[in-house]
Chain A
Amino acid sequence: MFKKYSSISYWVKALVVVISIGFSSNDAFAAGPPKASELSNPLAQVLLVIIVGLLLAIGLLANVILGAAQVYLQRYKDERKKGNNAVGKFLTIALLCLTTSALFAADTPAATAAVTEETSIAGLSLTSFYVMVSVIFLELLILWVLLANLKKLLAKEAAVIADTEEAAVKKTSSFLLWWDNFNSFKPIQEESSIDLGHDYDGIRELDNRLPPWWLYGFYLTIIFAGLYLYRYHVAKSAPLSKEELSIALEQAAADKEEYLKKSASNVDENTVTYLTSPADHEAGQKIFTTICAACHLADGGGSVGPNMTDNYFIHGGGIKDIFKTIKYGYPEKGMKSWKDDYSPTQIAQLASYVKSLVGTKPAKGKEPQGVLYEEKTGTSSATDSTKAKVDSTKAVVVK
């Protein structure tokens, strides 16, 4: 009847909202090649889910209020037939205002959500964030107003029921009323009317209607499935896994460049110098125990990897050589590249710590490997053996 009609109209509205969200994003993408949309931003997704969830809640609540209001209205109409009264008129107008505002409320987010999509730039811009958050607040506000109205309405209705039918029905909490309506429960005392008469070893079956939220939820997931497949595989407006990776890598490279421009840590194997401060050595030692000790032992005595405490080096013993060995590694000899794991500053600290190990006495030193390294006079101006080899090694290590 009326209730049913109103709920269907509401759901149609909700679907339009969801579809408009899905398609507006597609339009945004149709212009250019696929790039990271704001929709793939986790925050945006969470906010969107909240928005849609609240929207559903608003819709359901509006539905309940409509139903309740209808009952209320009917009663007043009946009364009016008996004797005209001004309060009835006033209430009718007030209720109409309320219900229409509830319906409009359901429309607003749709409009704003569409706006969000159109103004979207890469990443979640401040604007869209605030728009989404304000949509959420707006929705919460609407919910609050709706709830307040529902409470008033129910209280009135309960009073009327108490007056007219005097404890014929047990007083139920407003939540339970809402809950029964929400699931379109049949009152328990009317259960026999929907008993199907089945009897399986004493088990009977009722013929309750499907909970509306369940059924429409099911439809929604099916529509979601269609939109999802359309976006990824027909419109190709959302990035697949490999595109996601290249977007992430580009973004990361840009961020890194931006950062290095601003920071002082932009050292490399040509500019690195031996760091002498105890703080640097301590930091270096910490990294050494985490990653190097496995092959070179905690005191640098060497096991799988060579001894770090003698003055013999396979790939050169200058600070620049050591820096380079750590940064790029010598994978063919089992030395991994650590440039993705540690920053240039950290590698400089580690290299300095390693260099400081030379001459210490390990508990069990491995025999010397490589060639004896002699520091050129004057520590700071040490021209490493790197220079000569730099070209040949670069070819190997650069990806």
Chain B
Amino acid sequence: MQVEKFYYDNRIVKQFAFATILWGVVGMLAGLLIAVQIYLPAANFGLPFTTFGRVRPVHTNAVIFAFVGNGIFMGVYYSLQRLCKARMFSDLLGKIHFWGWQFIIVLAAVTLLAGYTSGKEYAELEWPIDILIALIWIVFGINMFGTIIKRRESHLYVAIWFYIATWITVTMLHVVNSFELPFSMLKSYSFYAGVQDALVQWWYGHNAVAFFLTTPYLGVMYYFLPKAANRPVYSYRLSIIHFWALIFLYIWAGPHHLLYTALPDWAQSLGTVFSIMLIAPSWGGMLNGLFTLRGAWDKVREDPILKFMVVAITCYGMSTFEGPMLSIKSVNAITHFTDWTIAHVHVGALGWNGFLTFAILYWLIPRIYNTPLYSKKLATNHFWIGTIGIILYTIPMYWAGFTQALMWKQFTAEGTLKFQFLETVTHIIPMYITRSIGGVLYLSGVFIMVYNIYKTVKAGSLVADEAAEAPALASHIEPQSKQYWHRWIEARPIQMLLFSLVAVAIGGILELVPTFLIKSNIPTIAAVKPYTPLELQGRDIYIREGCYLCHSQMVRPFRDEVARYGEYSKAGEFVYDHPFQWGSKRTGPDLARVGGKYPDSWHFNHMQDPQSMSPGSIMPSYTWLYENKIDTAITPAKIRAMTTLGVPYEKGYDLKANADLMEQAKKIQTGLKTEKLEAGANTEILALIAYLQRIGSDIKNAPKPTVAALTN
């Protein structure tokens, strides 16, 4: 057979590697800032774009899509070429992919800090960027499939299965969850409302973890771990079973983010059982990783790269066991909305994604620069500092979450709540401080790595085009004698793509479609009316400032929550909420029943200086709301968009909306004046107050059914 000579493209790998490092540092710095802001409100600096609610999405998006995203591309561009024995399909597409992705990241950072957000966690980017993401993702797909098609290797290695499943699933998730109706150049409303929006969002959110943070990283693990350990992969049949089981089961598990919410019970139960069934398939990856190291454990003692990998895989195993446990309702009742979740995701992000990325960087940079790593010792130090950082980060957070949840639930013998919400927050401040120290340690480890890699790069020179040779692929596929049944599909990438799509589409369809089509899933409530124009504007301010990142709007049917906040939330209350704002974390109290709880003047003082109304509060102040005027020019467009989405405003209301808006604002302003509080005409604070006073009040003001009827 003819042996062909060709060259691997290392330049693109280098670019993605450097981007990974850069965005890793940026994302972690943002994380450190918000970690400090939690116990030091002054660190919000009183500026809109440095306040927690806007920096937090920058942190999450930077770490997930910029740091890990570039990490994925680095790993894929390196391993795919070698596993296919072919150069990447197109250098140009690679360039477009790289620069397009970096452009998206910059756009994302700028728009998020400027307050343009869709208000859906991990999918915060607004519609023009969503479109851009889709385009660049397709460029990546073409480049990947082009390479696979022109490969010189007859069968696809397990790493590539994971890449293919990742690509098709992320495409599906991104498209479905980003359905939104633009009403201006940079703003849109989610196509879905309330319960449906929540279900789609967490179907997406959970599978962003699955198919952005897990499957592509399993893929790169399958390449770099056997390489680094120089050991054969432990079990091929385990690869097959855990791959298909994982992608099929993962997609169903989304509703476990919505246990005890207004989501129909059947969907919640599906979320629970599919999460439990996920333990084994997830652990299949861990076992195949750790058992591959059989006979190489003596190397782990000396090699920092293997050390990083072992901890990464262990963290993966821990968090994929913990996840299903958190999906059990009685556990979820304690951990949800607390810092336990934060601890859980950081075991995954810092341990699994972070450490595996570092291992790959340490392994790959010396190879493409054709020089040994500058210092093994520094890398080992990085490992230890990072590990201590992870421990110091997560343990206080687990502790804080558990403590706070128990405090929330505690009643006195007389049947009253034992702790005010704020008391439970101030109690865990020491844990927040320890957590940020853990973060500092982890980040300093990263700086050690930056130095180490800088020195390595300086010492070597990039092998931009690495020579390789392989026999051309025979046009016919060899007759299958006694082969695994699975070998058939491994030689057929397109079928692989289609089968993966089928596997991931089933769960999504069976959960989403009934929730949309069956009316009984969301019983309507007559008292629930659309927002007034001022409230709508206020709601958009609420979203813009990222209030949902610290305040939930979902009273769960628990005794303590009903006592603390009021009646539990009903599905029918959210039918006009585009997007839903249930939140996932209670750094501050739930707001689902805040409407009418305090006078306008309380909110007025509180937003300006939270500590004046709640001494010891850790909420930042929002002084700019008192100067900014409401953007009334956009009101008609907003009303029109809402009407298109099915909110029953009367015909032609878009033109009358502003008059109503001014009237309501005037009323609030006059009310404040009687309390000697001066609010500027049509300032944003008036809209926000209007919205806050509205939340959850539709049911409150409606004639009350008896207690028995409510609880049944």
Instruction: Using CB atoms and an 8 Å cutoff, list the residues of chain A in contact with chain B.
Output: 40, 42, 45, 183, 185, 188, 191, 195-196, 198, 200-211, 214-215, 217-218, 221-222, 224-225, 228-229, 232-233, 240-242, 244-246, 248-249, 252-253, 255-256, 259-260, 263, 265, 289-291, 293-295, 303-304, 331-334, 336, 339-346, 399
Contacts and interface: CB of A to CB of B under 8 A. Distances in A.
Interface stretch (B208-216, B447-455, B598-606): B598-606
A252 B411 contact: yes
A217 B280 contact: yes
Interface stretch (B128-136, B181-189, B556-564, B620-628): B556-564
Contacts of B557: 241-242, 244-245
B415 A245 contact: no
A295 B613 contact: yes
B233 A222 contact: no
A336 B597 contact: yes
B651 interface: no
Given A183-B291, A228-B269, A304-B602, A208 B235 contact: yes
A193 B703 CA distance: 77
B241 interface: yes
Contacts of A304: 598-599, 601-602, 605, 613, 675
Contacts of A252: 411, 415, 559
B416 A341 contact: yes
A244 B558 CA distance: 8
Between A215, A293, A304, A399, the greatest number of chain B beta carbons within 10 A of the residue's beta carbon is seen for A304
Interface in B562-578: 562-564, 568
B699 interface: no
A244 B415 CA distance: 18
A399 B246 CA distance: 49
Contacts of A399: 704, 707
Contact of B153 (A195, A200, A343, A344): A200
A331 B613 contact: no
B155 interface: yes
Contacts of A333: 599
A26 B712 CA distance: 22
B685 to A, nearest CB: 15
Nearest to B233: A205
B490 to A, nearest CB: 10
A215 B237 CA distance: 12
B287 A245 contact: no
A260 B557 CA distance: 25
Contacts of B272: 228
B227 A246 contact: no
Given A183-B291, A225-B277, A214 B283 contact: yes
Given A45-B330, A294-B614, A334-B599, A206 B83 contact: no
Interface in B104-125: none
B414 interface: yes
Contacts of A345: 414
Interface string B241-255: 100010000000000
B420 A341 contact: yes
Interface in B405-443: 411-417, 420, 423
B274 interface: yes
A205 B330 CA distance: 42
Contacts of B411: 252
Nearest to B262: A241
B36 interface: no
A202 B153 CA distance: 12
B637 interface: no
**How extensive is the interface on chain B, given as a class?**
35 or more
Contact of A265 (B414, B559, B602, B614): B414
A195 B232 CA distance: 8
A304 B330 CA distance: 41
B295 interface: yes
Nearest to A342: B416
Interface in B197-242: 223, 226-227, 232-239, 241
Given A203-B227, A265-B414, 10 more contacts: A206-B233, A206-B235, A208-B235, A218-B279, A218-B280, A221-B276, A249-B711, A294-B612, A294-B614, A304-B613
Given A207-B235, A343-B416, A242 B711 contact: yes
B348 interface: no
B614 A331 contact: no
B615 A245 contact: no
Interface of B: 79, 82-83, 85, 153, 155, 157, 223, 226-227, 232-239, 241, 245, 260, 265-266, 268-269, 272-274, 276-277, 279-281, 283-284, 287, 291, 294-295, 329-330, 411-417, 420, 423, 556-559, 562-564, 568, 596-599, 601-602, 605, 612-615, 675, 704, 707, 711-712
A250 B413 CA distance: 15
Nearest to A188: B295
Nearest to B266: A233
B420 A343 contact: no
B597 A331 contact: yes
A204 B280 contact: no
Nearest to A259: B413
Contacts of B291: 183, 185, 208
A205 B287 contact: no
Contacts of A241: 260, 265, 268, 329, 556-557
Contact of A256 (B279, B415, B417, B602): B415
5 contacts: A198-B155, A244-B557, A245-B568, A304-B605, A332-B596
A194 B110 CA distance: 54
A103 B68 CA distance: 50
A217 B279 contact: yes
Nearest to A262: B413
B412 A343 contact: yes
A225 B704 contact: no
Contacts of A332: 596
B274 A218 contact: no
B352 to A, nearest CB: 19
A339 to B, nearest CB: 7
Contacts of B613: 294-295, 304
Given A195-B232, A228-B273, A203 B294 contact: no
A217 B223 CA distance: 27
B300 to A, nearest CB: 16
A210 B237 contact: yes
A203 B232 contact: yes
A30 B232 CA distance: 54
A206 B236 contact: yes
Contacts of B268: 241
Contacts of A240: 265
Contacts of A211: 287
**4 residue pairs, one from A and one from B, having the closest CB atoms:** A334-B599, A218-B280, A225-B273, A256-B415
Nearest to B82: A201
A340 B294 contact: no
Contacts of A346: 416
A75 B201 CA distance: 63
Nearest to B596: A331
Contacts of A203: 157, 223, 226-227, 232-233
Nearest to B245: A218
A200 B280 contact: no
Contacts of A40: 330
Contacts of A42: 330
Given A210-B241, A224-B273, A259-B414, A204 B232 contact: yes
A224 B238 CA distance: 22
Contact of A245 (B238, B412, B423, B711): B711
A255 B559 CA distance: 13
Between A42, A196, A336, A345, the greatest number of chain B beta carbons within 10 A of the residue's beta carbon is seen for A196
B564 A340 contact: yes
B277 A221 contact: yes
A214 B157 CA distance: 23
Contacts of B420: 290-291, 341
A295 B602 contact: yes
Contacts of A255: 413, 415
Contacts of B279: 217-218, 221
